[in-house]
């Protein structure tokens, strides 16, 4: 996968950092769409050149009005276009003639209204690209850059109070959500570097905004609201850039889009909804995904204040044992490591407070109100003992008390100075002003202890930026020549052969065309065999009666061949039968399933799970977008809820995890070499066995070439 | 189980609603433990009789000081005792002599400091009971009743601002948490009827507080913070009373206590942690369990404002399609039913707003800012179309705009008048004052849409109060005579016989003592058999090599008998072998596990799950405390994540759910008849089969009589 689409940063700079702005359709009325941005720009003090364009006015809001963009006679970086849909094309021609470099297009009436609008949008997109004009919209609320007094929006939100400039950039596909998020940012005191809405995304997409923010020196943290992605490669490139620059991306994605028809026949696709693929993409690039709006803002605000914890260790100090237990429970759910203090430190704490809980969480009890010095002593003792990557103190309503506040503030100052690379967090009730004071010291402040733990857990999951051990690990190489698959489903034998060639261990097998060949296969394959009818038209061979297992003698095999062919003919009268596949029986082991499915947006997605109900009913599968490293492949196996089964539950020997990781890498390599010609490849079952039994073994496989839709439509499914 | 412990409500009335209060250890210093409550009572205007007791002062805070309680010469309902631990016994004697009716005991130095303190507490408890004095504490922060200016606490929290009187009662075992919760209630504007902390619970327990609140006419909703429960029967009785009175209980429980030693040998116990039993208890009584402090308060506040929705249907109106999708996702996770509007209503909405999403959630888009009447028209249309039990409107930052606010308020008034029994909720940013205005109309107000949905989902899960179809359903009768089990594990044969007698269908089986008897069993049992060594000393027969399956001939059975006995002797040299159990082989079906385990606090707990890894690794089990109804038993089967397997996944026939429910009821009935003599009973496997194959069948069982610890300690476990 190529990960470097051209973002045209110069064009995006003209859009988001314009030295001159023209408002087309500018009016005097500051409540109308053409009046609002000019009003903001004038009132809030935009320092670049400003031009009003309105053919029916001499002046607008005190500025001389030009009839057309071409009349301005000066370079225009950005045109804010607030005209009805019917006039947009003409304005674009004007803009091209005037060499305008970028454009915000508020107008609705494009792709969102149906085919006719979509055609108009397509034309617009084409013309803008020809003219070298970067275009945000149409049907968007535009953008704002609070630190530069740049207000290219008609959202009324800034009139209720402006968001202060800050180091968080926010890009939203939705205008409604964007306006809401603007208000939330203001109410929560968040500072923004950029606020942008991308609307119909004729040209500038969410990904462009993310990429621009990844390079923006005024941005530390990126917030993104997404409903769906058309261009997976662009999104991945933007996320890769943000990770490379060490900027956390906090993502809020809602909704799920339809799976492509090509995916319908593939098991993999039916198992992993589209949203799970987004999750896999986010995970690939270390994106923090928020699932509530509260967490969306809490995560972004926290990431902007606190350093990334260097590991998952956390020290917790509390004045309530109950809340301590709550935080410990939450911490374990969040994957944080609540390491016990050393025996010596615990003894010391017990000396100070006989009924303290000294392990971690450390509960110094209400005793702290009698001896306030306990606070600092305990905190320092904890940090000296374990040098926790994160430290969280719970102080109930202490932040509301003037006396306690003074002590708390001093504590945070001392801890910050003594442990500059530790994530500090305080959970207490306090005023917004006090909260801001602690935040200015680089200390997170929460009112809800569970929210505190969730945030710290999320931040601890961030990977270090490039240059600090955080460079993307090298993917497992897709060695070998390119593979070009014919469209449609391959036979089991063909599928097995391709995968074997790619390095997947497959069960000894051979094609048999007659009952006699089936009988001979028992000896040829060296033991009991399974027989399965061979037909690209039969998707579910078992349900069609086309499978016979554990055939130990030539006689058994002969009879079974006749039987399964007859049954399959009856169940699927139209299916083309091509004899059967004889394979050596594999006994024992754990049935797994591994697959690759081409997602229409994000390309090949690797899947692994335990077979049968664990995949189908419990949805216990792990996914990764390609390319994957060998570590990724191993992690896919280990993160299953059912992993203990593979690790050797109930006294059974552990399976060979390395051979599973190797098989997944081989499958991924095959998918990469097959490129666009692969719709899906699935190994089901992939039998996981202990190392001394030879590791894992593919027993059945189905490879489908693009377009898969055809293959799917003609498949015979005997199941109800 | 008897569910009517004596709460002594008259005694609790004297405690929580005292007409006269004496403070023992009263001092002038309003910052000391003996000065704070008197200061509060005087300053905040307690209207009952007040007495100061201090042998070393003539007056205290302006009141004449008595040397002892007996000097008061008037009836005293409540003595607030703020003296060191060493003086408590003497004060109690005084109180008994003065016929004081109840006591708040702040003093620490009792059970929380170890054995010596525990003994002192025991003596205290005994003496108080003899004297008929209800005692809250020791080692507690006392209680407050804001509506009656009753402040029997030394918590400094009221000094930072008092909580207003209201209709929520809050009881906390922890003083630290209680004080924190008091501050949170104040900051969030919650009104409280009672705030109480129970500390060491020498007499008055959390359950007593809940029971008193259940009867209190000034309380509508009960909040409880719990760390653990000593007296399960009392807690259950209190929760039953609250449910009977139709008062929602919102529970915040943290931590887990150690499982009793008696439980160690039981599979059931090792599967279901103690906290899962609490969950089962909460579920039994319709308790709303909160898992974060935010939700704890949001749920209680919501329950106090809104009517219980009559069903799970919800209509959602939004001005942001994205947030609409989010709410729909959340609603489905919360088990709410987002019913689509009728075609006609959808058409109407499309006429009004061509690009509206008219299904539900209804997205009327930003168009509402151009035509504000859309708001009311759409909401009314939704309600007339579907008469939703709950209706939620998302209006972004609309609540901050004066113009929009006026429309929103009018909308809520109209909806409230037109649909008095619908739960109304608004999600918007707005001031606390505006929020209070809507809440006064009985409309919930949220800022986070996910929190809104979580709350509505929880409230919709409340069962109706008694008299509205909400009376506790009649449990399945425990028919038959009482059973008295001998201590320790019974043999498999004995266990099977007992369960068969109780109505559990068991596999045909017989005891065999010799290889010849084993051989004869093949014919006697009518087909292939399994042989398992019989020994109460061998817990894991398979691991000991003591099991042989699918023996089809007399010869096979004979050889197998010799083999398994020899193997078991080798694996467990000390075990007493009593021949073997021969049982007819059961083919097919789904392996399940059913059991009853006596929880040390809550008594018998019924468990059901799918066998093997689903129970052991995935912890997919359902639990109920006894007694259970047949509906409960059926629900236990249906709520498993793995239920689709029983319902007939992958083309297999569904198993007989009714026979599973019957078997669970039979097992529960057996447990009830065995009473305290039963430590645990486990059927593993219980084979679930389709109805035409005879329904479910117990294939192995183990019944253990109390005390089970002995049996566990002597069991031979061949497994690693």
Q: How far is B468 from chain A (nearest CA, A)?
A: 36
Fold of A309-460: Rossmann fold (3.40.50)
pLDDT per residue as tens digits for the range A624-638: 999 999 999 999 999
Average pLDDT estimate for A83-104: 97
Record: contact B323-A397, CB cut-off 8 A: no
Q: How far is B80 from chain A (nearest CA, A)?
A: 20
Could you say which of A156, A176, A617 has the minimum Cβ distance to residue B649?
A617
Q: How far is A708 from chain B (nearest CA, A)?
A: 24
C-alpha to C-alpha distance for A95 and B613, rounded to whole angstroms: 67
Positive/negative CA dihedral, B668, B669, B672, B677: negative
C-alpha to C-alpha distance for B188 and B297, rounded to whole angstroms: 8
Q: In chain B, what is the straight-line distance between the N-terminal and C-terminal CA atoms, in Å?
A: 39
Residue A128 burial (C-beta neighbours within 10 Å; 0-12, 13-18, 19+)? buried
> How does DSSP classify residue B4?
-
Residues of A in contact with B367 (CB under 8 A): none
Interface of A with B in 498-557 (CB under 8 A): 543
Could you say which of B255, B366, B645 has the minimum Cβ distance to residue A325?
B255
Could you say which of B157, B323, B650 has the minimum Cβ distance to residue A177?
B323
Q: How far is A404 from chain B (nearest CA, A)?
A: 13
C-alpha to C-alpha distance for B558 and B565, rounded to whole angstroms: 11
Nearby residues of B343 by Cβ (< 8 Å), 6 or more positions away: none
Of all residues in chain A, what percent carry a pLDDT higher than 90? 72
Nearest CA in chain A to B614: A642
Interstrand relation of A678-688 and A697-698 (parallel, antiparallel or unpaired): antiparallel
Residue B228 has pLDDT above 60, yes or no: yes
Is A319 touching B (CB cutoff 8 A)?
A: yes
Record: contact B397-A157, CB cut-off 8 A: yes
Residues of A in contact with B543 (CB under 8 A): 651
Nearest CA in chain A to B326: A254
SS (H, E, C) A102-167: EEEECCCCCHHHCHHHHHHHHHHHHHHHHCCCEEECCCCCEEEEHHHCEEEECCCHHHHCCCCEEE
Residue B470 has pLDDT above 60, yes or no: no
User: What is residue B369's predicted lDDT score, i.e. its pLDDT?
Assistant: 78
Average pLDDT estimate for A440-454: 95
CATH of domain B9-247: 3.40.50.720
Q: How far is B514 from chain A (nearest CA, A)?
A: 30
Query: What's the pLDDT band for A537 if we cut at 50, 70, 90?
Result: confident
User: What distances in angstroms separate CA B468 from CA A356, A713, B243, B462, one per listed residue?
Assistant: 49, 54, 12, 12
Site from A118, A397, A454 to mutate, B interface, most B CB atoms within 10 angstroms: A397
Q: How far is A109 from chain B (nearest CA, A)?
A: 11
pLDDT per residue as tens digits for the range A336-355: 999 999 999 999 999 998 88
Q: How far is A254 from chain B (nearest CA, A)?
A: 6
Record: contact B183-A321, CB cut-off 8 A: no
Is A642 touching B (CB cutoff 8 A)?
A: yes
Count of CB atoms situated within 10 Å of the CB of B269 = 26
Q: How far is A351 from chain B (nearest CA, A)?
A: 14
Q: Where are the beta strands (DSSP E) in B3-58?
A: 20-24, 49-53
CATH of domain B508-584: 3.30.1490.20
Residue A269 has pLDDT above 80, yes or no: no
Q: How far is B14 from chain A (nearest CA, A)?
A: 29
Residues of B in contact with A648 (CB under 8 A): none
Site from B254, B429, B434 to mutate, A interface, most A CB atoms within 10 angstroms: B254
Residue B500 has pLDDT above 70, yes or no: yes
Nearest CA in chain B to A370: B32
Q: How far is B48 from chain A (nearest CA, A)?
A: 31
User: What is residue B380's predicted lDDT score, i.e. its pLDDT?
Assistant: 97
pLDDT per residue as tens digits for the range B655-677: 999 999 999 999 999 999 999 99
Record: contact A613-B644, CB cut-off 8 A: yes
Closest CA to B104 of B59, B38, B153, B70: B153
pLDDT per residue as tens digits for the range A416-429: 999 999 999 999 99
Residues of B in contact with A645 (CB under 8 A): 613, 617
> How does DSSP classify residue B662?
H
Residues of B in contact with A366 (CB under 8 A): 175-176
Query: What is the largest distance, in Å, between two alpha-carbon atoms of chain B?
Result: 100
Q: Average pLDDT of chain A? A: 89
Record: contact A355-B329, CB cut-off 8 A: no
A690 contacts A653 by C-beta, under 8 angstroms: yes
Nearest CA in chain B to A319: B176
pLDDT per residue as tens digits for the range B176-215: 899 999 999 999 999 999 999 999 999 999 999 999 999 9
pLDDT per residue as tens digits for the range B517-534: 999 999 999 889 999 998
Q: How far is A605 from chain B (nearest CA, A)?
A: 24
pLDDT per residue as tens digits for the range A560-584: 999 999 999 998 888 888 899 999 9
Interface of A with B in 282-311 (CB under 8 A): 291-294
Nearest CA in chain A to B400: A160
pLDDT per residue as tens digits for the range A482-529: 889 989 888 888 999 999 999 999 999 999 999 999 999 999 998 899
Record: contact B613-A642, CB cut-off 8 A: yes
Query: What's the pLDDT band for B477 if we cut at 50, 70, 90?
Result: low
Fold match between domain B9-247 and domain B508-584: no
Record: contact A254-B320, CB cut-off 8 A: no
pLDDT per residue as tens digits for the range A281-293: 999 999 999 989 9
User: What is residue B264's predicted lDDT score, i.e. its pLDDT?
Assistant: 25
CATH superfamily placement of domain B590-714: ATP-grasp fold, B domain (3.30.470.20)
Record: contact B397-A184, CB cut-off 8 A: yes
User: What is residue A468's predicted lDDT score, i.e. its pLDDT?
Assistant: 54
Packed helices B373-386 and B402-418: angle between N→C axes, nearest 10 degrees: 20
Residue B686 has pLDDT above 90, yes or no: yes
Residues of A in contact with B175 (CB under 8 A): 366
pLDDT per residue as tens digits for the range A635-678: 999 999 889 889 987 778 899 999 999 999 999 999 999 999 99
Assess: ipTM above 0.90.
no
Interface of A with B in 98-137 (CB under 8 A): 112-113
- B102 φ, ψ (degrees, to nearest 5): -155, 165
Nearby residues of B168 by Cβ (< 8 Å), 6 or more positions away: B185, B190, B191, B192, B193, B219, B220, B221, B222, B223, B300, B301, B304
Residues of B in contact with A649 (CB under 8 A): 613, 616-617
Residue B700 has pLDDT above 60, yes or no: yes
Q: How far is B588 from chain A (nearest CA, A)?
A: 16
User: What is residue B714's predicted lDDT score, i.e. its pLDDT?
Assistant: 40
Interface of A with B in 654-713 (CB under 8 A): none
Q: Average pLDDT of chain B? A: 89
- Which range among A244-253, A351-360, B382-391, B552-561 shows the weakest confidence by mean pLDDT? A351-360
B707-717 as b/e, with b when 16 or more CB fall inside 10 Å? ebbbbbeebbe
Domain boundaries of chain A, sorted by first residue:
9-247, 309-460, 508-584, 590-714
Could you say which of A187, A225, A450 has the minimum Cβ distance to residue B322?
A225
Is A174 touching B (CB cutoff 8 A)?
A: yes
C-alpha to C-alpha distance for A157 and A172, rounded to whole angstroms: 15
- Rg for chain A, CA atoms, rounded: 31
User: What is residue A259's predicted lDDT score, i.e. its pLDDT?
Assistant: 24
Record: contact A450-B329, CB cut-off 8 A: no
Is A396 touching B (CB cutoff 8 A)?
A: yes
Average pLDDT estimate for A208-233: 95
pLDDT per residue as tens digits for the range B265-322: 233 333 334 788 899 999 999 999 998 999 999 999 999 999 889 999 999 999 988 8
C-alpha to C-alpha distance for A668 and A676, rounded to whole angstroms: 13
Residues of A in contact with B641 (CB under 8 A): 617-618
Residue A257 has pLDDT above 60, yes or no: no
Residue A539 has pLDDT above 90, yes or no: no
pLDDT per residue as tens digits for the range B348-367: 999 998 888 888 989 888 77
Could you say which of A179, A543, A650 has the minimum Cβ distance to residue B396?
A179
User: What is residue B575's predicted lDDT score, i.e. its pLDDT?
Assistant: 86
pLDDT per residue as tens digits for the range B588-603: 899 999 999 999 889 9
| Chain mean position to CA B3 | 16
User: What is residue B649's predicted lDDT score, i.e. its pLDDT?
Assistant: 75
Query: What's the pLDDT band for B474 if we cut at 50, 70, 90?
Result: low
C-alpha to C-alpha distance for B155 and B172, rounded to whole angstroms: 13
User: What is residue A619's predicted lDDT score, i.e. its pLDDT?
Assistant: 78
Of all residues in chain A, what percent carry a pLDDT higher than 70? 93
């Amino acid at each position: 996968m190529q990960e470097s689409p051209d973002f045209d940063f110069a064009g995006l700079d003209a859009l988001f950092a314009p030295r001159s702005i023209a408002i087309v359709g500018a009016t005097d009325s500051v409540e109308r769409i053409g009046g609002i941005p000019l009003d903001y720009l004038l009132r809030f003090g935009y320092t670049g050149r400003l031009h009003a364009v309105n053919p029916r006015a001499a002046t607008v809001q005190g500025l001389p009005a030009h009839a057309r963009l071409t009349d301005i006679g000066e370079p225009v970086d950005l045109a804010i276009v607030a005209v009805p849909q019917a006039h947009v094309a003409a304005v674009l021609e004007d803009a091209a003639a005037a060499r305008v470099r970028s454009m915000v297009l508020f107008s609705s009436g494009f792709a969102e209204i149906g085919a006719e609008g979509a055609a108009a949008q397509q034309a617009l997109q084409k013309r803008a690209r020809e003219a070298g004009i970067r275009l945000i919209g149409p049907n968007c609320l535009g953008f704002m850059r609070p630190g530069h007094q740049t207000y290219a929006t008609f959202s009324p939100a800034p009139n209720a109070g402006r968001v202060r400039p800050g180091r968080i950039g926010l890009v939203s596909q939705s205008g409604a959500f964007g306006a809401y998020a603007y208000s939330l940012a203001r109410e929560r005191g968040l500072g923004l570097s950029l606020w942008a809405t991308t609307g119909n995304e004729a040209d500038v997409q969410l990904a462009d905004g993310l990429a621009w923010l990844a390079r923006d020196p005024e941005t530390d943290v990126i917030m993104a609201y997404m409903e769906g992605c058309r261009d997976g490669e662009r999104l991945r490139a933007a996320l890769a850039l943000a990770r490379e620059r060490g900027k956390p991306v906090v993502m809020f994605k809602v909704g799920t889009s339809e799976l492509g028809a090509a995916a319908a026949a593939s098991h993999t696709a039916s198992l992993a909804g589209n949203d799970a693929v987004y999750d896999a993409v986010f995970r690939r690039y270390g994106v923090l995904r928020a699932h509530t709006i509260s967490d969306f803002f809490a995560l972004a605000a926290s990431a902007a204040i606190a350093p990334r914890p260097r590991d998952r260790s956390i020290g917790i100090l509390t004045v309530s044992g109950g809340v301590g237990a709550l935080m410990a429970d939450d911490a374990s759910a969040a994957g944080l490591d609540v390491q016990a203090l050393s025996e010596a430190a615990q003894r010391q704490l017990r000396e100070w407070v006989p009924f303290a809980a000294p392990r971690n969480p450390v509960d110094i009890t209400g005793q702290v109100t009698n001896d306030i010095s306990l606070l600092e002593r305990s905190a320092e003792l904890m940090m000296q003992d374990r040098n926790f990557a994160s430290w969280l103190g719970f102080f109930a309503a202490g932040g509301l008390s003037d006396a306690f506040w003074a002590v708390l503030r001093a504590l945070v100052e001392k801890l910050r100075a003594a442990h500059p690379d530790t994530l500090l967090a305080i959970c207490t009730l306090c005023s917004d002003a006090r909260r801001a004071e602690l935040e200015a010291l680089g200390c997170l402040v929460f009112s809800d202890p569970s929210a505190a733990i969730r945030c710290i857990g999320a931040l601890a999951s961030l990977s270090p930026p490039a240059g600090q051990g955080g460079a993307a690990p090298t993917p497992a190489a897709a060695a070998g020549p390119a593979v070009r698959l014919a469209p449609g489903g391959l036979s089991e034998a063909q599928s097995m052969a391709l995968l074997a060639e790619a390095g997947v261990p497959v069960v000894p097998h051979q094609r048999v065309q007659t009952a006699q060949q089936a009988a001979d296969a028992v000896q040829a394959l060296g033991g009991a065999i399974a027989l399965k009818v061979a037909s690209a038209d039969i998707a579910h061979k078992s349900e069609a009666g086309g499978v016979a297992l554990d055939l130990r003698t030539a006689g058994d095999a002969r009879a079974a061949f006749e039987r399964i062919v007859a049954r399959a003919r009856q169940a699927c009268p139209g299916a083309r039968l091509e004899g059967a596949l004889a394979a050596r029986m594999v006994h024992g082991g754990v049935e797994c399933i591994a697959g690759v499915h081409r997602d229409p947006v994000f390309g090949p997605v690797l899947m692994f799970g335990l077979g049968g109900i664990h995949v189908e009913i419990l949805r216990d599968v792990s996914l990764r977008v390609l390319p994957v490293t060998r570590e990724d492949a191993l992690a896919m196996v280990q993160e299953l809820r059912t992993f203990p089964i593979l690790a050797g539950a109930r006294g059974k020997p552990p399976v060979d995890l390395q051979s599973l990781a190797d098989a997944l890498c081989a499958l991924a390599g095959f998918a990469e070499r097959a490129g666009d010609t692969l719709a899906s490849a699935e190994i089901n079952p992939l039998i996981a066995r202990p190392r001394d039994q030879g590791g894992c073994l593919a027993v059945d496989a189905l490879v489908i070439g693009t377009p898969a839709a055809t293959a799917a439509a003609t498949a015979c499914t005997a199941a109800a």
